[in-house]
């Protein structure tokens, strides 16, 4: 099979999977079998592409040309490959987890959930492989629309209100800011193709760079820069597997992925450093890191605390790429992977606690570690990764980001990174401490052990992956080295 | 040409405004239709004035041996023909309008606009 | 004369002759079959015409053999061919849809009359499009309008009658204005043939001089046509007319009637005045404000409607604003965008009103509250609604995106940044009013009284889904309509 065909299959496979899942809605076992098979197939496909020697040197694939000069095209580049790999691997693990969660909680409309999951993954693949801004925008919107039914899955009042925030913020920022920014880019540069080194240098007035950068930064609502982060905590009304995959991996990572792509392939490092506009992005990200962490400290709902932690961690990636030194960009790429594995573990654990113990608040978790040792053990490892301590993957990525900041001689950034590490510790350590070392205050309403085994397997696997990534970070490092502004 | 020489155009304008005023100000559906008719009649006048030339005859072939003088000036017949068509259209419009009024009277029991509105709002 | 030379007259004469046939047989099924045959034949003829125009060139036809400036002559170039395709295509889809929908909404004795009127209206719209004679255009306009008044009056609720009456009064005022405009142009040039009109104006230097009569003529024409096409703020007749008309009539009128009025505006203002004159520049500025207000105000009003048919009617007013906005740029790209949006809007509004028809066929009315739980009960219909709504918002890969993109491109070409923002704002407002319905359909449980509402019957579903596919197909590959629209815009901008 030609590599081009495999790249197109990456989008087609989950899309066709969605059809088969819908067709097999009457037979739950078959339906879940199809989901798992599609997810496994997708991961195998991405691995297959990675192993192809010619993978990163292909001509763009043109899917369609709706208007003259306006092409939908797919291009494979290192970051997209990494993102596609993470998303497909975690989709498979999440599917295992979802089966346990959905059956354990006897959720309704399970078929719709699986179908939308598959469509969302197809859109994520599209974002990862997009060759120009138009294609990126198309799949970005598709991802928003396909995840809307997932966010509102419970169909109660809270879900509908949460869904309104979700759709309202994401659609209005993308149509109101991202689309104009794309049109502007297209108008002045005559192209929207992602080109290493950027397409804007020399065609945009230096005074306008900051404005366009801001339009992109706030247009990509999925990257959750403050103050357009509100959709993320609101989207926590979704069932936990949805929060786990979409709001720790696919959707938010799509946001920062777009941000990295736009900084490296549209603006180009040179243009941003020459005009000094990357400082704006650094300031915005730094503000988001600190304030989101402070808000997270005050959240009692576990999933909301995780959501604010996500907002803060996403800005690490934005900040790292905005520093624009080779080390910090490597750190950003690593952090995409490290945060994905760490945060999905945390969400899985939150879901497992909800399924087994029906608890959603941090204050209720005293002593739960004895009852659910595996779950809380995984939670502890993932917390280490979030804080940035060895032996978890978060340490490696933070190390690179810090090194990047040192090489840029940027003392304020170093201070902010250290402060946020303290804050991260401040909202994760008490949970772990209370779970393992405090006594249960009141006898639980029902005795419970671990959550269903599929869930436990899923969350221990992802916790293991955070450890593995600490010891063997070669693949993301090697891919990062091929990014513009890092290698070459 | 003084402005009084354009009296036929002035008449068209006055008729037009009269008709328009009736359409706007009257609440009775039949009166509105009457206004609408006056309104369109003004255009007929406008067209016919355009075609008319003073001391001109109809554009017909005249046997010069019979006629005392050779006819030099003809009126343009086309506007008249157009207006014949427009009158037909106007009659048709009035017919449809009256038919609608009859049906409205059957369904509402009134043809006063404010009463009809009151009946619709009370539902 | 080759057979294809007769195509223009065949296009009009088929529905016109079929109309009395519908009444003669006095049977509803015969009437429907006759109408269906007529519509499909017309569609085939319009395809033949489009092929002929794009391969061989424009098509002329002199009625009764009288040559052009004296007799009535039909003349078809890219623009007419494109509009003919829209009108006859929608009619060909609406008629298969009509049988069940009409059977439910209109009592069986009136049904032959209904089909007959529909064909007359159809013939009128086709006539406006093919003719090259200004007065003939007026006659056909009144032909289509009069039948439209009667068709709207046949709506199931009694408010249809008052809506039709309101439309009649405003439509007649508009038509009279158009008549005055044509009369003044005739008094200037002594001709009614549109091409000859343009020629005479140019030869006699009337265009370059600051001629008052010419200005007055165009003022009357613009206002009259704005009334007919419901350009904001002359749109007052439209919401009621669309809301209370029978479903099929709404589908047909929403997708075609206003488009044909825009076509007339294009003919008069671009073909006759020609490119680049001062008058045209002013004209662009004059219609800019109403079109922008239409986009914003009508979209906002749509958000507050509870009758969804009415909501879509207001959305139509906003969409007409987009088309006129394209014209007001007075550039080739702008005109292409406007003409393209005529086509794309016919696709999406046709589709959305078909969905409304299907829902009112099953549920009885289309209030927002009736949509509760419809996502489960009528899944295919609601998916069609969502897809049509996405096209209306201008989401990529739907037809709506293409026309929005072209509109933005046209605005950027002349550097109107603020307009781009307003176009996008209009899209956001569309998101709000469409999403209200989607949310109700999918997330609000059905009412307690559990009616046995199932999916819409197949004969409603097939035309609906043909339009869904068209919406997506023309969003992915827009080359056919884009090429036609672009050629039409070039002809218009070339003066002739």
- Tell me whether residues B86 and C186 touch, CB distance under 8 A: no
pTM of the model: 0.86
Give pLDDT, residue C345: 92
* B58 or C314, higher pLDDT: C314
Residue A363 DSSP SS3 = helix
Q: What's the whole-number mean pLDDT along residues A431-454?
A: 76
Contact check, Cβ <8 Å, B104/C187: no
Least confident of A265-279, C271-285, C312-326, C364-378: C271-285
Instruction: Tell me the per-residue pLDDT of A412-421, one tens digit each, with 9 for 90 and over.
Output: 888 988 898 8
Distances (CA, A) of A397 to A84, A336, B29, C343: 19, 9, 79, 53
Task: For residues C475 and C467, give the distance between their C-alpha atoms in angstroms, rounded to a whole number.
Answer: 12
Between residues C401 and A108, which one has the greater pLDDT? C401
pLDDT tens digits, one per residue of C151-190 = 999 988 888 999 999 999 999 999 999 999 999 888 888 8
Residues of A in contact with C476 (CB under 8 A): 64, 66
DSSP C69: T
Q: What is the pLDDT of residues C205-262, one digit of tens each?
A: 777 667 788 888 888 988 999 999 888 888 889 999 999 999 999 999 998 988 999 9
Average pLDDT over residues C60-86: 85
Long-range contacts of A55-59 (CB under 8 A, 24+ apart): A55/A3, A55/A81, A56/A81, A56/A482, A58/A3, A58/A4, A58/A7
User: What span, in angstroms and rounded, lies between the C-alpha atoms of C327 and C225?
Assistant: 14
pLDDT at C363: 83
CB within 8 Å: C165 and B50: no
Q: Does B104 touch chain C (CB under 8 A)?
A: yes
* CB-based contact A200:A162 (threshold 8 Å): no
Tell me which chain B residue has its CA closest to the CA of residue C149: B96
**Which residues from C are below 8 Å from B86, CB to CB?**
138, 179
Mean predicted confidence (pLDDT) in C369-395: 86
Q: Which of A245-254, A378-387, C8-17 has the lowest mean pLDDT?
A: A245-254
pLDDT at B101 > cutoff 60: yes
Cβ contact, residue pair B100, C165, below 8 Å: yes
DSSP β-ladder status, C73-76 and A70-74: unpaired
C contact set with B (CB within 8 A): 135, 138-139, 142, 146, 149-150, 153, 158-159, 161-162, 164-165, 168-169, 172-173, 175-176, 179-180, 183, 186-187, 190, 192
Q: What is the pLDDT of residue C140?
A: 93
Query: Which helix (H) or strand (E) element contains residue A197?
Result: none
Average pLDDT for A20-31: 84
Residue C287 has pLDDT above 70, yes or no: yes
For A404-437, the three-class secondary structure string (H helix, E strand, C coil) is HHHHCCCHHHHHHHHHHHHHHHHHHHHHHHHHHH
Structure confidence at residue C40 as a pLDDT band (50, 70, 90): very high
Q: Tens digit of pLDDT for each residue in A34-57?
A: 888 888 999 888 888 888 877 777
Distance from CA of B100 to the nearest CA of C (A): 6
pLDDT for residue C346: 92
Note every long-range contact of C73-77, with CB atoms under 8 Å and residues 24 or more positions apart, other chains counting: C73/C132, C73/C133, C73/C193, C74/C8, C74/C9, C74/C130, C74/C131, C74/C132, C75/C8, C75/C130, C75/C131, C75/C132, C75/C194, C75/C195, C76/C7, C76/C8, C76/C49, C76/C130, C77/C53, C77/C488, C77/C491
Distance CA C21, CA C13 (A): 13
pLDDT band of C91, cuts 50, 70, 90: very high
C169 vs B92: CB contact, 8 Å cut-off?
no
Partner C, chain B 55-84, Cβ-Cβ below 8 Å: 76, 78-79, 82
- For the CA atoms of C48, C50, C51, C57, what is the dihedral angle to 10 degrees? 120
CB contact under 8 A, C396 and A138: yes
Mutation site for C-interface testing, chosen from B27, B53, B87, B96 by largest number of C Cβ within 10 Å: B96
pLDDT over 60 at B1, yes or no: no
Is there a contact between C168 and B92 if contact means CB atoms under 8 Å apart?
no
pLDDT at C441: 84
Chains that touch B (3 or more CB pairs under 8 A): C
Nearest to C443 among A137, A155, A183 (CB): A155
What's the confidence (pLDDT) of residue B22?
Answer: 92
User: Which SS3 state, helix, strand or coil, does residue C142 take?
Assistant: helix
Which 3 state secondary structure label does DSSP give A58?
Answer: coil
Q: How far is B65 from chain C (nearest CA, A)?
A: 30
C residues 418..447 contacting A (CB < 8 A): 420-421, 424-425, 427-428, 431, 435, 439, 442-443
**By percentage, how much of chain A surpasses pLDDT 70?**
98
How many percent of chain C have pLDDT more than 90?
Answer: 34
Contact C187 B50 (CB under 8 A): yes
Q: Is the pLDDT at C57 greater than 50, yes or no?
A: yes
Output the CA–CA distances (angstroms, integers) from residue C36 to A158, C32, C64, C347, in the order listed. Answer: 50, 6, 29, 19
Angstrom distance (rounded) from CA C175 to CA C183 = 12
Q: What are phi and psi of A277, to 5 degrees?
A: -75, -15
In this predicted structure, the answer to whether residue B35 has a pLDDT above a threshold of 90 is: yes
For the complex shown, is ipTM > 0.85? yes
Cα nearest neighbour of A173 on chain C: C428
B44 touching C (Cβ < 8 Å): no
**Residue in the block written with tokens 């439910």:** C104
C416-443 residue pLDDT tens? 888 888 888 888 899 889 988 888 888 7
- Span A230-272, pLDDT tens digits: 888 888 888 888 888 877 788 888 999 998 888 888 888 888 8
Closest by CA to A139, choosing from A153, A129, A149, is A129
**Cβ contact A–B (≥3 pairs, < 8 Å):** no
Contact residues on chain C for A175, CB-CB shorter than 8 A? 424, 427-428, 431
Q: Is the pLDDT of residue C496 over 50?
A: no
How many Å apart are CA C121 and CA C115, to the nearest integer? Answer: 10
Q: What is the reported pLDDT for C275?
A: 54
Question: Does the structure show a pLDDT above 90 at C123?
Answer: yes
Local confidence band at C144 (pLDDT 50, 70, 90 cut-offs): very high
pLDDT classification of B55: cutoffs 50, 70, 90 = confident
Q: Note whether C176 contacts B39, CB cutoff 8 Å.
A: yes
Check CB contact under 8 Å for C475 and A171.
no
Do residues C246 and C103 touch, judged by C-beta distance below 8 A?
no
Average pLDDT of chain C? Answer: 86
**Whether C435 and A137 lie within 8 Å, measured CB to CB:** no
Check pLDDT > 70 for residue C452: no
C278, pLDDT greater than 60: no
Per residue in A217-233, pLDDT (tens digit) is 898 888 888 888 888 88
Nearest to C439 among A67, A160, A171 (CB): A160
């Amino acid at each position: 099979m030609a590599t081009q065909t495999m790249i197109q299959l990456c989008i087609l496979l989950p899309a066709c999977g969605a059809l088969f899942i819908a067709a097999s809605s009457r037979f739950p076992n078959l339906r879940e079998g199809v989901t798992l098979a599609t997810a496994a197939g997708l991961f195998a496909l991405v691995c297959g592409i990675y192993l192809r020697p010619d993978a990163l040197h292909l001509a763009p694939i043109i899917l369609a040309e709706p208007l003259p000069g306006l092409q939908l095209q797919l291009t494979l580049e290192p970051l997209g490959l990494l993102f596609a790999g993470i998303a497909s691997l975690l989709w498979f693990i999440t599917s295992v987890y979802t089966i346990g969660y959905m059956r354990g909680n006897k959720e309704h409309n399970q078929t719709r959930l699986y179908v939308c999951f598959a469509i969302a993954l197809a859109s994520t693949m599209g974002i990862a492989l997009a060759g120009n801004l138009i294609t990126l925008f198309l799949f970005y919107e598709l991802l928003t629309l396909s995840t809307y039914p997932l966010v509102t899955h419970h169909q109660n009042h809270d879900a509908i209100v949460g869904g309104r925030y979700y759709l309202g913020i994401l659609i209005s920022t993308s149509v109101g800011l991202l689309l104009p920014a794309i049109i502007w880019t297209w108008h002045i540069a005559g192209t929207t193709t992602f080109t290493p080194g950027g397409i804007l240098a020399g065609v945009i007035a230096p005074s306008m760079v900051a404005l366009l950068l801001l339009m992109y930064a706030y247009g990509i609502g999925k990257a959750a820069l403050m103050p357009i982060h509100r959709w993320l905590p609101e989207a926590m009304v979704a069932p936990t597997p949805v929060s786990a995959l979409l709001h720790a991996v696919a959707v938010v990572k799509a946001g920062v992925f777009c941000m990295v792509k736009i900084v490296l392939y549209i603006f180009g490092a040179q243009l941003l450093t020459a005009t000094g506009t990357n400082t704006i992005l650094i300031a915005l990200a730094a503000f988001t890191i600190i304030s989101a962490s402070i808000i997270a400290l005050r959240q009692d709902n576990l999933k909301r605390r995780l959501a604010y932690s996500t907002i803060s961690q996403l800005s690490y990636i934005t900040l790292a790429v905005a520093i624009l030194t080779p080390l910090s960009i490597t750190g950003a790429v690593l952090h995409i992977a490290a945060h994905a594995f760490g945060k999905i573990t945390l969400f899985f654990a939150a879901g497992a606690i909800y399924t087994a113990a029906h608890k959603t608040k941090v204050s209720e978790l005293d002593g739960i570690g004895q009852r659910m040792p595996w779950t809380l053990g995984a939670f502890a490892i993932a917390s280490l990764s979030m804080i940035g301590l060895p032996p978890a993957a978060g340490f490696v990525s933070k190390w690179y980001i810090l090194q990047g900041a040192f090489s840029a001689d940027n003392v304020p950034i170093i201070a902010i990174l250290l402060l946020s590490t303290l804050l991260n510790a401040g909202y994760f350590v008490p949970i772990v401490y209370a779970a393992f070392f405090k006594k249960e205050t009141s006898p639980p309403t029902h005795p419970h052990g671990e959550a269903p085994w599929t869930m436990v397997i899923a969350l221990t696997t992802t916790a293991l992956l955070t450890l593995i990534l600490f010891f063997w970070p070669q693949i993301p490092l090697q891919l990062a080295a091929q990014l513009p502004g890092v290698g070459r | 040409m003084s402005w009084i020489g354009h009296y036929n155009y002035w008449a068209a304008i006055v008729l037009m405004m009269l008709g328009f005023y009736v359409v706007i100000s009257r609440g009775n559906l039949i009166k509105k239709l009457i206004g609408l008719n006056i309104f369109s009649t003004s255009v007929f006048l406008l067209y016919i004035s355009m075609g008319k030339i003073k001391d001109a005859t109809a554009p017909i072939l005249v046997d010069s041996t019979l006629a005392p003088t050779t006819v030099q000036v003809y009126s343009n017949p086309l506007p008249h023909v157009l207006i014949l068509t427009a009158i037909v259209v106007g009659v048709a419009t009035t017919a449809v309008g009256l038919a609608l009024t009859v049906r409205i009277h059957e369904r509402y029991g009134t043809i006063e606009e404010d009463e009809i509105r009151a009946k619709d709002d009370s539902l | 004369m080759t057979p294809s030379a007769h195509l223009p007259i065949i296009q009009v004469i088929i529905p016109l002759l079929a109309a009395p046939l519908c009444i003669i047989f006095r049977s509803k099924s015969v009437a429907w079959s006759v109408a269906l045959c007529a519509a499909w034949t017309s569609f085939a003829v319009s395809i033949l015409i489009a092929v002929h125009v794009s391969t061989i060139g424009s098509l002329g036809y002199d009625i009764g053999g009288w040559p052009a400036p004296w007799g009535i002559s039909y003349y078809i170039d890219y623009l007419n061919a494109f509009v003919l395709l829209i009108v006859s295509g929608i009619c060909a889809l609406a008629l298969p849809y009509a049988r069940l929908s009409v059977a439910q909404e209109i009592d069986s004795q009136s049904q032959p009359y209904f089909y007959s009127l529909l064909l007359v209206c159809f013939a009128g719209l086709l006539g406006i499009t093919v003719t090259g004679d200004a007065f003939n255009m007026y006659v056909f306009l009144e032909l289509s309008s009069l039948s439209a008044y009667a068709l709207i009056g046949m709506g199931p609720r009694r408010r249809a009658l008052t809506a039709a009456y309101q439309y009649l009064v405003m439509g007649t005022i508009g038509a009279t204005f158009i008549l005055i405009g044509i009369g003044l142009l005739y008094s200037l040039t002594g001709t009614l043939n549109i091409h000859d009109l343009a020629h005479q104006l140019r030869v006699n230097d009337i265009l370059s001089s600051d001629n008052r009569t010419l200005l007055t003529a165009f003022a009357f024409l613009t206002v009259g046509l704005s009334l007919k096409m419901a350009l904001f703020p002359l749109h007052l007749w439209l919401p009621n007319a669309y809301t209370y008309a029978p479903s099929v009539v709404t589908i047909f009128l929403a997708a075609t009637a206003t488009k044909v009025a825009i076509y007339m505006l294009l003919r008069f203002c671009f073909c006759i005045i020609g490119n680049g004159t001062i008058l045209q520049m002013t004209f662009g500025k004059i219609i800019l404000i109403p079109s922008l207000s239409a986009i914003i105000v009508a979209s906002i009003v749509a958000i507050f409607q509870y009758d969804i048919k009415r909501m879509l009617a207001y959305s139509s007013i906003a969409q007409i604003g987009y088309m006129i906005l394209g014209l007001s740029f007075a550039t080739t790209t702008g005109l292409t965008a406007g003409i393209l949006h005529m086509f794309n809007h016919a696709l999406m509004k046709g589709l959305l009103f078909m969905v409304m028809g299907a829902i009112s066929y099953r549920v009885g009315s289309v209030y927002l509250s009736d949509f509760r739980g419809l996502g489960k009960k009528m899944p295919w219909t609601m998916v069609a609604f969502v897809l049509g709504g996405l096209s209306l918002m201008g989401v990529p890969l739907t037809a709506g995106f293409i026309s929005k993109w072209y509109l933005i491109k046209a605005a950027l070409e002349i550097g109107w940044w603020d307009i781009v923002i307003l176009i996008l704002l209009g899209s956001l407002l569309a998101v709000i009013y469409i999403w209200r319905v989607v949310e109700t359909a999918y997330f609000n449980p059905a009412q307690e009284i559990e009616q046995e509402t199932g999916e819409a019957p197949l004969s409603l579903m097939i035309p609906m889904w043909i339009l869904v596919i068209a919406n997506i197909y023309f969003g992915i590959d827009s080359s056919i309509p884009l090429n036609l629209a672009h050629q039409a815009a070039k002809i218009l901008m070339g003066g002739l």
